[in-house]
Amino acid sequence: MAWKGVLAPVKAVLPKNPWLRVLFVLVPVLLVLALFNPALEVLLKVVDLFLRVLEPLLQTTLGRIALLTGLLGVTALLSYWLLRQRLRDWRGEAALGRHLQATAALVGQNRRGSRELFRRVARYGGPLPARYRHVVQDARLKLARLTLKDDDVDEALRWLQRVIEKDLPKELQRSLLQLRLEALRRQGQFQPATLRREAEAAAKRFGDDVVILSVLRDLCIEQDCLDEAVEWQERVATHAAPAGKATESQRLVDMLQDAGARALAAGEHTQAQKFAKRLKKADPDGASAGLLLGDVHRGLGELRKAVEAYGSTRSPVGLDRIAEVLREHPGAVEPRELLAICPMQGALLLVARELARAGEHARAARAASVAAEALGPTPTVCAVLAEVLDLLGDQQNAQLLRQDTVLRLLTP
């Protein structure tokens, strides 16, 4: 290629238009040939020879086809040589156009069409368009995403492996990290520790990326690091998009509940109490925090505090837990105290049941009456009061209560 360097000054002098360039070169050549007659003759002889060779070819169809093909080929080569830069631009722009079509198909939920188009762009090896030089990498990432969605993890990994990371913009790098982590985790052939290291590095770089954080959470769960998983889930719930916030918050609440239960089972009451506080923060309007706190107190034998915590939830589950406490520890809380710390109408049922179990029939009957009056014939009231009336030996009223409840259900 050294001759290119030699010709460089000449090229610099030549005009920019390719036709003018050709003319610029041909004119001196023709002049030289005109000045030197023998040379012209030689040239004419060469032309004559060329025509003699062509003539037989022109006589047959095959020859004419060969000549035509040759002519077209030479024209094409010449055109290419003359328009090569423009063609390179066109190719890049065409690839970009295809990529845009694929993206449009993806946005329009035409997954099959978009996959085909992305596949063609992903295989493209020509010049890259100046306006978006990451077109091929982008197509590969999108293909990986699509195949991952179709649970074709190996195919996704293949596409991801072909993505050239160098000079990728941050957005595509983030996608690459996300997809690779997800694919590797789902493939299951990599060591969790390796994956986790990679995920943690990704999380350091993109701390608010819900997908990366979710992968980390799942990895922690797989490795049985459940408390750590809760921490990751907290970050997931914080950064989740509004549309998915409810789901992630629910998952966080569930995980915190499970973590609290585990801590309780392990006898780590302080830890469980911390989880209760975190639950309160995660689910301020829900009953879960109060229930866990009540469980903690129950575990510590602080039954009054437990009942108070359960009662503060103002939830049927809270009432259930109080019922459990009273069943395990009859008389642990006086009825009057119970109503004071848990001022719910459902607590009247508990009072009635407690009094009936304690053999205080008159008070139990009155409590049942007060409860029935306050609550009306609902399924729970029916069940509990039937039990109470059964204990009081008043089966007839129990039956009437059941009948009244069913009648209400059957009445429009």
DSSP secondary structure string for all residues of 119-188: HHHHT--SPPPTT-TTHHHHHHHHHHHHHHHTT-HHHHHHHHHT---TT--HHHHHHHHHHHHHHHHHH-
Interface pick for other proteins out of 40, 82, 225, 375 (rule CB under 8 A): 375
| Residue 383 touches other proteins, criterion: CB under 8 A | yes
Q: Say how many CA atoms lie within 13 Å of 1 toward its Cβ.
A: 0
Other CB atoms within a 10 A radius of the CB of residue 272 amount to 23
What is the length of the chain? 412
SS3 377: coil
Interface pick for other proteins out of 97, 127, 192, 299 (rule CB under 8 A): 97
Subset of 111-140 contacting other proteins (CB under 8 A): 129, 131-132, 135, 138
Q: Contact 137/168 with Cβ under 8 angstroms?
A: yes
| Residue 72 touches other proteins, criterion: CB under 8 A | yes
> CA torsion sign, 232 to 235 to 239 to 245?
positive
In whole angstroms, what is the distance from residue 112 CA to residue 16 CA? Answer: 46
Interface pick for other proteins out of 31, 42, 104, 193 (rule CB under 8 A): 104
Interface pick for other proteins out of 286, 304, 305, 361 (rule CB under 8 A): 286
Interface pick for other proteins out of 37, 243, 393, 396 (rule CB under 8 A): 243
Residue 411 structure tokens:
């009445």
Query: Which residue's CB is nearer to other proteins, number 140 or number 196?
Result: 140
The distance of closest approach from Cβ of residue 19 to other proteins in the complex, given in angstroms and rounded to an integer, is 20
For 78, 135, 283, the CA distances from 99, given in Å and listed in that order, are 30, 7, 44
Number of residues that bind other proteins (CB under 8 A): 110
| Residue 382 touches other proteins, criterion: CB under 8 A | yes
| Residue 297 touches other proteins, criterion: CB under 8 A | no
Interface pick for other proteins out of 178, 233, 273, 397 (rule CB under 8 A): 178
| Residue 314 touches other proteins, criterion: CB under 8 A | yes
* Stretch 329-368: interaction string toward other proteins, x if CB under 8 A: ------xx--xx--xxxxxxxxx---x-------x--xx-
Query: Which residue's CB is nearer to other proteins, number 54 or number 193?
Result: 54
| Residue 284 touches other proteins, criterion: CB under 8 A | no
